[in-house]
C-alpha cells in the first residue's frame, strides 16, 4: 500500500484509522506535518443545520438497486449540492462512471480533483467493481462519495492547504456518513 500516493491519487477503499500518525507522516516536511496535525485534530463533522439529505441518500440507494447510472449521478449531485450549500462552500460536480479502474494495488473507489483553472472541483465515483463488475454495495458507495467530499471540505470548509488521510479525516468521514445513513432511515420510519 502506498498511503502517500493515495493521499493525492484518490481513494482505494477504507483504511482503518491508526492511533499514531500514518507511516508517511515521517516523510512530510515540517509545514506539511503541521497541516497533517491540524487535520488530525478535527474529529467530527455534523450535517449542516437545516440540510435535507434523506431524499438524496434514498435516491442513491434506489439508483444503485435499479442499476441506473443517470439516476445515481443525479442523486449524488443532489446530495453534494445540498451539503456544499449547507456548509457554504463552493459547489462541485460529480460524475458516476461504470467500472472501477484497478491495478496491482487494488481498485480505485473514488477520486477528488480540486478546482483548477476556472473548473469546479470534481468527484468521480464508480458504480461497479473492477473484477466482478457487480454494482457496488450501497453503504460502501455512499461512504466513497462522503470520503471524496471530505477532501473538498478539507480545502473549502476547514481551510487546510492539503487534504491528508489522517485519523481525524476518517473520523469526520465516518461521522458524516453515519449522519446521512440516519437521515435516510428517518424517511423510512413510521414517524418519518
Instruction: Tell which wins on pLDDT, 191 or 51.
Output: 51
The pTM assigned to this predicted structure is 0.87
| pLDDT confidence band for 173 (50 / 70 / 90) | very high
Encode pLDDT of 91-148 as tens digits: 999 999 999 998 888 899 999 999 999 999 999 999 999 989 999 999 999 999 999 9
Task: Name the grid cell of 171.
Answer: 473520523
pLDDT at 189: 66
How confident is the model over 152-180, as a mean pLDDT? 97
**Beta carbons of 157 and 46 less than 8 angstroms apart:** no
The residues that bridge with 123 in the sheet, in sequence order, are 94, 112
Burial class (CB in 10 A: 0-12, 13-18, 19+), 161: exposed
Angstrom distance (rounded) from CA 64 to CA 122: 20
pLDDT at 164: 97
Angstrom distance (rounded) from CA 21 to CA 17: 9
Ranges of H-type helices in the chain: 3-9, 30-40, 54-65, 69-87, 138-156, 167-188
pLDDT at 20: 63
β pairing state of 92-99 and 121-128: parallel
In the DSSP assignment, the letter for residue 189 is S
pLDDT reading at 6 higher than 80: no
| pLDDT confidence band for 9 (50 / 70 / 90) | very low
With a pLDDT cut of 90, the percent of the chain lying above it is 80
**Beta carbons of 109 and 126 less than 8 angstroms apart:** yes
* 46-50 contacts at long range (C-beta below 8 A, 24 or more positions apart): 46/175, 46/176, 46/179, 47/83, 47/86, 47/176, 47/179, 47/180, 47/183, 48/83, 48/85, 48/86, 48/87, 48/88, 49/86, 50/86
Least confident residue range of 28-42, 48-62, 100-114 = 100-114
How confident is the model over 8-20, as a mean pLDDT? 50
Average pLDDT, the chain: 89
Amino acid at each position: 500500500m502506498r498511503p502517500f500516493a493515495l493521499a493525492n491519487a484518490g481513494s482505494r477503499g477504507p483504511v482503518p484509522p491508526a492511533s499514531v500518525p500514518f507511516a508517511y507522516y515521517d516523510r512530510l516536511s515540517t509545514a506539511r506535518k503541521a497541516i497533517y496535525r491540524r487535520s488530525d485534530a478535527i474529529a467530527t463533522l455534523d450535517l449542516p443545520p437545516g440540510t435535507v439529505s434523506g431524499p438524496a441518500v434514498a435516491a442513491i440507494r434506489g439508483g444503485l438497486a435499479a442499476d441506473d447510472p443517470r439516476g445515481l449521478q443525479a442523486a449524488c449531485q443532489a446530495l453534494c449540492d445540498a451539503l456544499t450549500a449547507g456548509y457554504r462552500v463552493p459547489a462541485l460536480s460529480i460524475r458516476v462512471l461504470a467500472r472501477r479502474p484497478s491495478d496491482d494495488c487494488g481498485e480505485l473507489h473514488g477520486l477528488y480533483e480540486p478546482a483548477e483553472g476556472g473548473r469546479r472541483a470534481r468527484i468521480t465515483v464508480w458504480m461497479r467493481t473492477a473484477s466482478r463488475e457487480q454494482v457496488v454495495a450501497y453503504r460502501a458507495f455512499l461512504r466513497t462519495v462522503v470520503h471524496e467530499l471530505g477532501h473538498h471540505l478539507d480545502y473549502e470548509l476547514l481551510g487546510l492547504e492539503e487534504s491528508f488521510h489522517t485519523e481525524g479525516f476518517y473520523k469526520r468521514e465516518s461521522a458524516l456518513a453515519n449522519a446521512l445513513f440516519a437521515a435516510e432511515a428517518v424517511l423510512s420510519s413510521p414517524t418519518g
